């Protein structure tokens, strides 16, 4: 499509003779077209009926040519539409109205096929959220009919539990979703599909991007204190093996992700310097587990507390470099799903932590962060240890745990002022340094 034509629906040519200027001026001068001095020979069958002006353009769909049109009462409005449409075409902003009628489900399938760079675990999550939460509401909806208000209402329904859902069991019902779940469903998956529609020129804009979602309340994260961690570790060693207690302590006092720990090999440990190199993690998919890079995509080095060095040395004694640090009974790697079922859940009950809602192995990583922050860890160091992509992410998740330090800033200003005004050592040293530099500069210019 490169051109938009404007048609006059009220006037016509008479055997190739266009309407006269007098007839056109007469029609433009009256409010009632039936009173205009327009001879019958130039009046079309639609004369005086409906809107007078029509914009007409064509698109190519496959091997066929399809016409589109839009009518206007005023010529000025039609000309403005014509200019805007042709400008959109030149600038690559045009979206075919016919494409806006495509059902959301078709675009969602196209979007999912395009996600070639994501891990199998992430792809599985996308597929699950599309199937369970998104498609039951939007699958047959034309993408061009979705409005900001429609999405906002859906977000509200997700938070209250009043939404269509597709679950594997008929006995299970929709329930209110946490802010983080709503964010993933709406802003990552649903909005991602509409972003794909915009990139494909099926839509001009994405209504989901401007919709507000509930703010995540990270204070709801589960943290265990040191006494609870030790009780859980002892319980794990009791229901499983001694190594299961070591796994609990490693998670809680080093802060790695559970599948990073299970992918750790003997050669990754540098126990003399109390360090471990996190190079890989186990990736879960519908078919099987496989090794891949850590979540951030980059290896990192983590520090290990002293008290863990001795049990770790005993755990890897006599093992080759390629052996897993935390091994299954037969020497292979530990599958996290099996470990949760055989050890974790039983240990939680034995440690009398069964009433802690939402307690998972990942809660031990949160617990590590809380312990480290309480001990005075710097946010940048904590970010490196935990493998977050940025310090801002660390602050987004754990910022509320950092102590309020405004008073410390005020105290530092107090000390600096007192040192300068009262001739303190700190003030004289800095002042002397500046004076010496200035004197040297003056002598050099003379």
Asked if residue 433 has pLDDT above 50, the reply is no
Q: Which pLDDT band, with edges at 50, 70 and 90, does 326 fall under?
A: very high
Q: 273 with 352, same domain?
A: yes
Q: 206 with 238, same domain?
A: no
Looking at the domain assignment, is residue 430 inside a domain?
A: no
What pLDDT digit, counting tens, does each position of 404-414 carry? 666 777 888 88
- Is 93 within 8 Å of 204 (Cβ atoms)? yes
- The pLDDT assigned to 436 comes to 40
Q: 207 with 108, same domain?
A: yes
Domain CATH number, residue 338: 1.10.443.10
- The pLDDT assigned to 172 comes to 67
Domain CATH number, residue 111: 1.10.150.130
- The pLDDT assigned to 220 comes to 63
Looking at the domain assignment, is residue 192 inside a domain?
A: yes
- The pLDDT assigned to 356 comes to 86
Q: Which pLDDT band, with edges at 50, 70 and 90, does 432 fall under?
A: very low
- 94, 113, 137: which is the final residue of a domain? 94
Q: Which pLDDT band, with edges at 50, 70 and 90, does 94 fall under?
A: low
- The pLDDT assigned to 169 comes to 60
Q: 20 with 123, same domain?
A: no
Give percent of the chain with pLDDT exceeding 90: 54
More confident residue, 181 or 323: 323
Asked if residue 344 has pLDDT above 60, the reply is yes
More confident residue, 306 or 118: 306
Asked if residue 294 has pLDDT above 80, the reply is yes
Q: Which domain holds residue 362?
A: 226-401
What integer best gives the mean pLDDT of the chain? 85
More confident residue, 64 or 12: 12
Provide mean pLDDT across the span 183-188.
Answer: 93
CA 408, 412, 414, 416: dihedral to nearest 10 degrees? Answer: 180
Asked if residue 75 has pLDDT above 80, the reply is yes
Provide mean pLDDT across the span 386-392.
Answer: 82
Q: Which pLDDT band, with edges at 50, 70 and 90, does 388 fall under?
A: confident
- The pLDDT assigned to 63 comes to 67
Q: 196 with 281, same domain?
A: no
**Of 33-47, 159-173, 199-213, which one has max mean pLDDT?**
33-47
Provide mean pLDDT across the span 140-146.
Answer: 93
- The pLDDT assigned to 299 comes to 92
Q: 391 with 247, same domain?
A: yes
Asked if residue 442 has pLDDT above 60, the reply is no
- 177, 193, 216: which is the final residue of a domain? 216
Looking at the domain assignment, is residue 375 inside a domain?
A: yes
Q: What are phi and psi of 363, to 5 degrees?
A: -65, -25
Asked if residue 435 has pLDDT above 50, the reply is no
Q: 84 with 131, same domain?
A: no
Distances (CA, A) of 120 to 50, 285, 338, 358, 362: 56, 5, 19, 25, 20
Provide mean pLDDT across the span 208-224.
Answer: 79
Asked if residue 351 has pLDDT above 50, the reply is yes
What pLDDT digit, counting tens, does each position of 248-265 carry? 999 999 999 999 999 999
Q: 131 with 268, same domain?
A: no
Provide mean pLDDT across the span 303-315.
Answer: 96
Looking at the domain assignment, is residue 416 inside a domain?
A: no
Q: 62 with 124, same domain?
A: no
Asked if residue 430 has pLDDT above 80, the reply is no
Looking at the domain assignment, is residue 188 inside a domain?
A: yes
Instruction: For the chain, give the longest Cα–Cα distance.
Output: 107
- 57, 73, 94: which is the final residue of a domain? 94
Q: 242 with 373, same domain?
A: yes
Q: 270 with 362, same domain?
A: yes
Domain count, the chain: 3
Looking at the domain assignment, is residue 363 inside a domain?
A: yes
Q: Which pLDDT band, with edges at 50, 70 and 90, does 121 fall under?
A: confident
Looking at the domain assignment, is residue 151 inside a domain?
A: yes
296, with CB counted inside 10 A (0-12, 13-18, 19+), is middle
Q: 88 with 110, same domain?
A: no
Asked if residue 279 has pLDDT above 90, the reply is yes
More confident residue, 66 or 115: 115
Asked if residue 116 has pLDDT above 80, the reply is yes
Looking at the domain assignment, is residue 383 inside a domain?
A: yes
């Amino acid at each position: 499509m490169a051109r938009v034509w404007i048609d006059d629906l009220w006037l016509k040519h008479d055997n190739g003779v266009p309407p006269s200027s007098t007839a056109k001026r007469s029609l433009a001068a009256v409010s009632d077209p039936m009173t205009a001095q327009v001879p019958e020979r130039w009046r079309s069958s639609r004369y005086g009926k409906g809107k007078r002006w029509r914009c007409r353009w064509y698109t190519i769909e496959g091997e066929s040519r399809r016409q589109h049109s839009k009518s206007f009462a005023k010529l000025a409005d039609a000309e403005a539409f014509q200019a805007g449409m042709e400008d959109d075409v030149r600038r690559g902003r045009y979206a075919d109205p016919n494409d806006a009628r495509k059902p959301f489900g078709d675009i969602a399938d196209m979007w999912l096929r395009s996600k070639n760079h994501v891990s199998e675990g992430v792809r599985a999550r996308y597929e699950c959220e599309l199937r369970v939460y998104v498609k039951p509401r939007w699958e047959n909806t034309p993408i061009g009919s979705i409005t900001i208000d429609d999405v906002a209402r859906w977000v509200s329904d997700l938070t209250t539990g009043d939404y269509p859902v597709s679950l594997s069991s008929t006995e299970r019902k929709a329930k209110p979703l946490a802010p983080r779940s709503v964010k993933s469903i709406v802003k990552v998956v649903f909005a991602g599909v509409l972003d794909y529609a915009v990139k494909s020129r099926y839509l001009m804009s994405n209504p989901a991007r401007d919709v507000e979602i509930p703010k995540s309340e990270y204070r709801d994260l589960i943290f265990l204190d040191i006494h609870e961690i030790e009780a859980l570790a002892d319980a794990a060693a009791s229901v499983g093996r001694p190594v299961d207690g070591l796994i609990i302590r490693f998670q809680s006092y080093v802060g790695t992700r559970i599948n990073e720990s299970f992918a750790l090999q003997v050669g990754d440990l540098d126990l003399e310097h109390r360090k471990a190199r996190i190079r890989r993690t186990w990736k879960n998919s519908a078919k099987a587990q496989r090794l891949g890079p850590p979540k951030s995509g980059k290896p990192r080095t983590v520090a290990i507390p002293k008290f863990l060095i001795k049990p770790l040395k005993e755990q890897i004694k006599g093992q080759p470099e390629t052996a897993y640090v935390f091994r299954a009974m037969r020497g292979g790697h530990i599958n996290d799903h099996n470990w949760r079922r055989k050890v974790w859940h039983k240990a939680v009950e034995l440690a009398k932590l069964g009433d802690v809602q939402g307690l998972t192995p990942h809660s031990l990583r949160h617990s590590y962060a809380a312990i480290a922050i309480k001990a005075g860890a710097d946010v940048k160091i904590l970010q490196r240890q935990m493998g977050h992509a940025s310090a801002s992410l660390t602050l987004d998740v754990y910022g509320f745990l950092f102590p309020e330090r405004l008073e410390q800033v005020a105290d530092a200003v107090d000390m600096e002022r007192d040192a300068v005004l009262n001739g303190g050592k700190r003030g004289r040293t800095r002042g002397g340094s500046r004076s010496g530099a200035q004197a040297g500069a003056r002598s050099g210019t003379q």
